[in-house]
Amino acid sequence: MKIKVLVVDDSAFMRKVISDMISSDPLMEVVGTARNGEDALNLIVSTNPDVVTMDIEMPKMDGLSALKQIMEVRPIPVIMLSSLTTKGATETLKALDYGAFDFITKPSSLVKVSGPEVKEELLSKIRIASRAKVSKPVIQRQVRPQPATSSTVRTTGNLPQGKTKFKKIIAIGTSTGGPRALQDVIPFIPGNIDAGILIVQHMPPGFTKSLAERLDSMSQIHVKEAEDGDIMHAGVAYLAPGDSHIKLTKQAGQYVIKLDDGERVSGHKPSVDAMMYSVAALNDSNVIGVIMTGMGADGADGLQKVKSNRGYVIAQDEESCVVFGMPKSTIKLGVVDKVVSLNNIANEIVKAMEV
């Protein structure tokens, strides 16, 4: 059976371009198009789509308002179309919070709109979305920030002051479903944890800074978008920018972050594998590797190297993943020490600090 897709966009041109892309795949069909969220809600009832592509900025009823109602009444996979602006990034993160499956960015020029890269990304995400589990999003657990301790001092700026020598390095990799999943992990890591933290979330440039700021605002630890040359501090999480690999080196007894603008690794930049390769290459036995929801296999090979250097590996379980691909690929390699649900990952990280 074909994957039935509803296309929602206020631009007739974009509706035509997106519909043509989808119709080019013999296993997909466009069952309807809508110019705003209100029309979309009516068409969902009459066409019963498997996946919806939804523009964010529309008149009458915008994409966020429509998404909220869809997830409340009839949860189905929704892929948002986002603009490459600060406002677009903020609204996209809200959409992911509200239950959107994933998003793609609108190209900046008409030439790129119907290009092969955009088409392949769209079709790939529709295929995965049509098979994904979608449910009404749960309200995020409330977090009570802990007071800063002498070992970790939180600051409001980008220059956290804390220990540069610590017990563990925590490396976390995630993709589809990750922005929302990270909100069930990072805020529950204690502020005084004796570890530096690296995070790779597959995202395009311009979105990771907003994600870091969002996580920082709700967490006990400090979260920032990584910058080349950052010295790693305990109680600080460094999120890879959307256009660079994040790697870790050791200089004069301190861990220093290097951003690499090289080729994609395992199909991604930033890549979870690239991050895991770098922490494994340090030959320290103090790495806790965490692999979370996401399509594909990025991170599996890198975590195999982490495990071979006596690291500890945690994987998110299938039930709590939006897409089980990345954890499944890692589990298949036999390198995972513990498979746990999303809500238990932070607790498992704390336990692993004593391993």
Express each pLDDT in 63-104 by its tens digit. 999 999 999 989 999 999 987 677 888 999 999 999 999 999
Instruction: State the average pLDDT over residues 40-49.
Output: 96
Q: Is 285 an annotated catalytic residue?
A: no
Q: Is 175 an annotated catalytic residue?
A: yes
Instruction: State the average pLDDT over residues 288-306.
Output: 97
Catalytic residue among 19, 202, 245, 268, which? 202
The two tokens of residue 219 are 């967490």
**170-213, pLDDT tens digit by residue?**
999 999 999 999 999 999 999 999 999 999 999 998 899 999 99
Catalytic residue among 273, 298, 320, 329, which? 298
The domains located in the chain, with CATH, are: 3-131 (3.40.50.2300), 152-352 (3.40.50.180)
Residue 21 has pLDDT above 90, yes or no: yes
Instruction: State the average pLDDT over residues 305-311.
Output: 96
Amino acid at 291: I
Q: Which of 195, 191, 180 is nearest to 136 (CA)?
A: 180
Catalytic residue among 130, 175, 271, 320, which? 175
Read off the pTM.
0.90
d(CA 296, CA 68): 28
DSSP 268: B
For residues 6 and 53, the answer to whether their CB atoms sit within 8 Å is yes
Residue 109 has pLDDT above 80, yes or no: no
Residue 107 has pLDDT above 80, yes or no: no
pLDDT score for 151? 39
Q: Is 268 an annotated catalytic residue?
A: no
The percent of the chain in helix, strand and coil, each rounded to the nearest 5, is 35, 25, 40
Q: Which of 183, 33, 214, 202 is nearest to 102 (CA)?
A: 202
The two tokens of residue 211 are 């994600």
